[in-house]
Amino acid sequence: EAAPKAKSLNRTDTLLKEIQQGRPSIDVERARYFTESMRETEGQMLILRWAKAMYHIAQNITVYVDERQLIVGRAGKPGRYGILYPELDGDFLDEAIRQLPSRQESPFSIDERDCAVIYEEISPYWRGKTYHEHLSQALPEETLRLTYDPEDRQTSRFIVNETSSFRSSIQWVHDYEKVLKRGFKGIRQDAEQRLAELDPFNPVESMEKAPFLQAIILAADAIVLWAKRHAQLARELAEKERDPRRKSELLEIAERCEWVPENPARDFRDALQAQWFTQLFSRLEQKTGTIISNGRMDQYLFPYYQRDIEQGVLDDEQVLEYLSCMWVAMAQFVDLYISPTGGAFNEGYAHWEAVTIGGQTPEGMDATNALSHLFLRSKREFPLHYPDLAARIHNRTPTHFLHDIAETIKEGTGFPKLINDEEVVPLLLSKGATFSEAYDYAVSGCAECRMPNRDTYTSPCAYINFPAALEMTLYNGRMQRHGTELLGLETGDPRDFSSWEDFWQAYIKQHNNFLRHAFIQQKIIIDLRAKHFAWPLGSALHDLSMAACKDIHQPVIEGGIDLGYFEFMGYGTVIDSLAAIKKLVYEEQRITMSQLLEALEDDFTHHQVLRALLASAPKYGNNDPYADAIGKTLDKVCLDFTRKYSKALGVHLDLRLVPFTSHVPFGKVVHATPNGRKAWMPLSDGSSASQGCDAKGPTAVLLSNYQTKNYQFSERAARLLNIKFTPSIVAGEEGTRKLCDLIRSWCDLKLWHVQFNVINRETLLAAKADPERYRGLIVRIAGYSAYFTDLSPDLQDDLIARTGHEMF
């Protein structure tokens, strides 16, 4: 029997329509006020300049109280909007403004007057000052060639791709509980007390700690001022409001915004409002990778929920209504990428403000509660692809929770994604966390984890196109796309190799050369980051930053665990290609290297028989020991490298397989590959099998994933795994039970992440052909879900090409 729909649908349906129909617009106010202030404060300490800029924004930016909304706060115009961070990548601005309205991936509209503000006020100030310009200038020639077109230093080559210039830190989770319990008044008082205790004769305390603490005080004042401006606006609107019901709602909004986030939250709704203000103000302050996440909402909100329920002032229907209001506010803020590379990474207006549910308490007990179930219900009933919902699973996850999760997954929107405590917790421990910190991690971004008061390192990292390394092995350090330009190492003509071992050694040289340049990039990024970014609010909420009086962007925060990563792009593509070469060229000698190269150069056009032979070689994703052994060795090559060299960087740079949508643009630079993939087609995504190559069902997919991991290494991080089902295979109670069993197996195998698309190929084809009819179709992509019709045709095809499992 269908559960009753939440009454929030009535309230938020208008807002929802705006999200589904309208193209997002760019709002320039944040960039304008930020720039105005930065112009005035040149020469001062960066964190203080940033806090002053935030105060200036808080004073001047337009505030909104949307019609019908109960949870208020937006950082831009009505409808979906994106904001600009010119300090990061402002050198792309002029060109982007011309291109964004017609860009294929995630287009944005922009107002004429706002264009003028950009051209006349914002861009000129940042010319020569942006992080991206300084980074591209600092890259050594050899590294630059793998990163950007050296001619313009802007066009990504998608080979060893840096991502730090379209997000100043990786995804992040704040300690929201601190705001709810203490309010910014409490946080400000701490800073004031610390400031009063500093020794003025100590130069470090005077010159570093004092400005840091002044910045914290200013940031706290800024967010409170901004919240109070909402209160004032709500009161003004209430005065004019004729509908008595809305009038009283507006007065209540005013009263709450007057109280939080300055003071501790008094009840559930205060807690939501304080959280959203904190999150949104952070978004104004900083462009984190794929946005600030929501943290463990079912945990930190639970005391407020429980108390309100016990006192009879709240019921579940009201909770669902408040949550819907918050989701709409969240979804309207779109993570805008102005560089073409950023846009290609995050198709479908993607952002990942993961809401974590389930998992374990800091004491290691199961943490599931009534709110965990309510979040699932909200996801089932409210038809929106934000926020990203993530459930933590462990080996004692209660059956009732797992059942509820499986039922939600079966709705077909791809939620929740699952993260495995049995893999994550031991890894966090091995990296230096305490048990309580590790048990209390929050999911963040696509598939990552944060310990809000413990990990500190935040620079985004390199995405490495290893199928390009394979191509360079085939063409002696060159790529078809770049003609005779030498990009990699000259490892020789493979036609002269006499054995598989020769080929493998040549590949490994190209592979390690890519890693070398990724680590060089990272060294430069770490050094540059602290000179370009500061984050007073983020630092105010972090215990270690506050203890050290250091901005969170500084390379070293005492006591922190600095979690970074590098990304293996095209894992399945490389495994399958190497397996085909090993088996067909060297072991069985069914084709010669010359024949293979001829077919590849011809993109298989006149070599369909050979292509079919290549397709018959062992493939990753089928529990095939031949392919999986190659995958495991590749994994280990990366882990050995980082074990040896990440220490020199003073950080953890762990191996990750989480591409968002970038396997599409990365594929566009790689010519035909020996797994039978045609030129310029997408690479395999994350740790999933190559498109359509997993023929033995989802259990075989899980087993291949398991067999290719090196569990003895702590240098590993998230592996993203997409599995697609046809709806009939998971239908009914029997289907739910099978899905639960599969999740338990995934948990036992200690795999990091899994997410499911439950959809028919026919539905996707129909939606591609007739987008208007399928405007509301939500699909899971790579760590997140989006409207199918918001995606580029290439990405739509990629989703269609993934195997839809029809068996378990």
The residue range among 28-36, 443-451, 762-770, 795-803 that interacts with ligand 8X3, by the rule CB under 6 A, is 443-451
Nearer to ligand 8X3, 593 or 658 (CB): 658
Catalytic residue among 446, 549, 693, 740: 446
Angle at 49 between CA 43 and CA 52, to 5 degrees: 140
Q: Minimum distance from CB of 142 to ligand 8X3 (Å)?
A: 25
Provide the 10 A C-beta neighbour count for residue 522: 24
- In the set 387, 445, 536, 538, which binds ligand 8X3 (CB under 6 A)? 445
Task: Reply yes or no on whether 446 is catalytic.
Answer: yes
Would you say 138 and 164 are in contact if contact means Cβ atoms under 8 Å apart?
A: no
Q: Is residue 82 within the footprint of ligand 8X3 (CB under 6 A)?
A: no
The residue range among 205-213, 442-450, 537-545, 730-738 that interacts with ligand 8X3, by the rule CB under 6 A, is 442-450
Phi-psi region of 153 (alpha: psi -120 to 50; beta: other; left: phi over 0): left
CA 253, chain centre distance (Å) = 31
Q: Minimum distance from CB of 291 to ligand 8X3 (Å)?
A: 9
* DSSP code at position 24: P
Interacting positions 764-783 with ligand 8X3 (CB under 6 A): 783
Residue 144: which H helix or E strand, with range? helix 141-147
Q: Minimum distance from CB of 136 to ligand 8X3 (Å)?
A: 19
Nearer to ligand 8X3, 291 or 610 (CB): 291
Provide the 10 A C-beta neighbour count for residue 363: 10
**Could you give the CA distance from residue 630 to residue 578 in angstroms, rounded to a whole number?**
8
Interacting positions 377-416 with ligand 8X3 (CB under 6 A): none
Residue with the two structure tokens 């009840």? 267
Nearer to ligand 8X3, 290 or 339 (CB): 290
Q: For the residues of 90-111, what is the DSSP string, one character each?
A: GGGHHHHHHHGGG-SSS--B--
Catalytic residue among 249, 448, 471, 567: 448
Nearer to ligand 8X3, 279 or 290 (CB): 290
Q: Minimum distance from CB of 718 to ligand 8X3 (Å)?
A: 8
3-state class percentages of the chain: helix first, strand second, coil last, to nearest 5: 55, 10, 35
**Could you give the CA distance from residue 465 to residue 161 in angstroms, rounded to a whole number?**
8
Nearer to ligand 8X3, 163 or 214 (CB): 163
**Could you give the CA distance from residue 113 to residue 95 in angstroms, rounded to a whole number?**
16
Q: Is residue 564 within the footprint of ligand 8X3 (CB under 6 A)?
A: no
- In the set 87, 321, 381, 448, which binds ligand 8X3 (CB under 6 A)? 448
Residue with the two structure tokens 């790529």? 479
Q: Minimum distance from CB of 170 to ligand 8X3 (Å)?
A: 3
**The pair of three-digit structure tokens given for residue 151, joined into one six-digit string:** 């001619």
Pairing of strands 804-805, 722-725: parallel
**Could you give the CA distance from residue 125 to residue 76 in angstroms, rounded to a whole number?**
22
**Could you give the CA distance from residue 21 to residue 772 in angstroms, rounded to a whole number?**
10
**Phi, psi angle pair for 529, to nearest 5°:** -55, -50
Q: Minimum distance from CB of 658 to ligand 8X3 (Å)?
A: 6
Phi-psi region of 724 (alpha: psi -120 to 50; beta: other; left: phi over 0): beta
- In the set 164, 165, 171, 792, which binds ligand 8X3 (CB under 6 A)? 171
Angle at 433 between CA 427 and CA 438, to 5 degrees: 65
Q: Which is nearest to 659 in space by CA: 561, 769, 795, 751?
A: 795
The CA–CA distances, whole Å, from 806 to 633, 729, 765 equal 31, 6, 18
Q: Which is nearest to 549 in space by CA: 47, 59, 171?
A: 47
Buried b (16+ CB within 10 A) or exposed e, 437-452: bbbbbbbbbbbbbbbb
Q: Is residue 686 within the footprint of ligand 8X3 (CB under 6 A)?
A: no
- In the set 79, 86, 289, 536, which binds ligand 8X3 (CB under 6 A)? 289
Cα-atom radius of gyration of the chain, to the nearest Å?
26
Interacting positions 641-670 with ligand 8X3 (CB under 6 A): 658
Q: Is residue 785 within the footprint of ligand 8X3 (CB under 6 A)?
A: no
Q: How many residues bind ligand 8X3 (CB under 6 A)?
A: 11
Nearer to ligand 8X3, 169 or 513 (CB): 169
Q: Minimum distance from CB of 784 to ligand 8X3 (Å)?
A: 8
Pairing of strands 417-420, 753-758: antiparallel
Would you say 392 and 356 are in contact if contact means Cβ atoms under 8 Å apart?
A: yes
The residue range among 10-18, 48-56, 70-78, 444-452 that interacts with ligand 8X3, by the rule CB under 6 A, is 444-452
Nearer to ligand 8X3, 560 or 783 (CB): 783
The residue range among 247-255, 440-448, 511-519, 697-705 that interacts with ligand 8X3, by the rule CB under 6 A, is 440-448
Q: Minimum distance from CB of 160 to ligand 8X3 (Å)?
A: 15
- In the set 58, 63, 170, 526, which binds ligand 8X3 (CB under 6 A)? 170
Provide the 10 A C-beta neighbour count for residue 736: 19
Nearer to ligand 8X3, 171 or 736 (CB): 171
Q: Minimum distance from CB of 168 to ligand 8X3 (Å)?
A: 10
Q: Is residue 290 within the footprint of ligand 8X3 (CB under 6 A)?
A: yes
Nearer to ligand 8X3, 460 or 536 (CB): 460
**Phi, psi angle pair for 472, to nearest 5°:** -65, -30
* DSSP code at position 455: B
Q: Minimum distance from CB of 653 to ligand 8X3 (Å)?
A: 13
Nearer to ligand 8X3, 279 or 368 (CB): 279
For 135, counting Cβ atoms within 10 Å of its Cβ (0-12 exposed, 13-18 middle, 19+ buried), the class is: buried
Nearer to ligand 8X3, 47 or 658 (CB): 658
Q: Is residue 446 within the footprint of ligand 8X3 (CB under 6 A)?
A: yes
Q: Minimum distance from CB of 720 to ligand 8X3 (Å)?
A: 9
Interacting positions 459-518 with ligand 8X3 (CB under 6 A): 460
Q: Is residue 352 within the footprint of ligand 8X3 (CB under 6 A)?
A: yes
Residues assigned a catalytic role: 446, 448
Q: Which residues bind ligand 8X3 (CB under 6 A)?
A: 170-171, 289-290, 352, 445-446, 448, 460, 658, 783
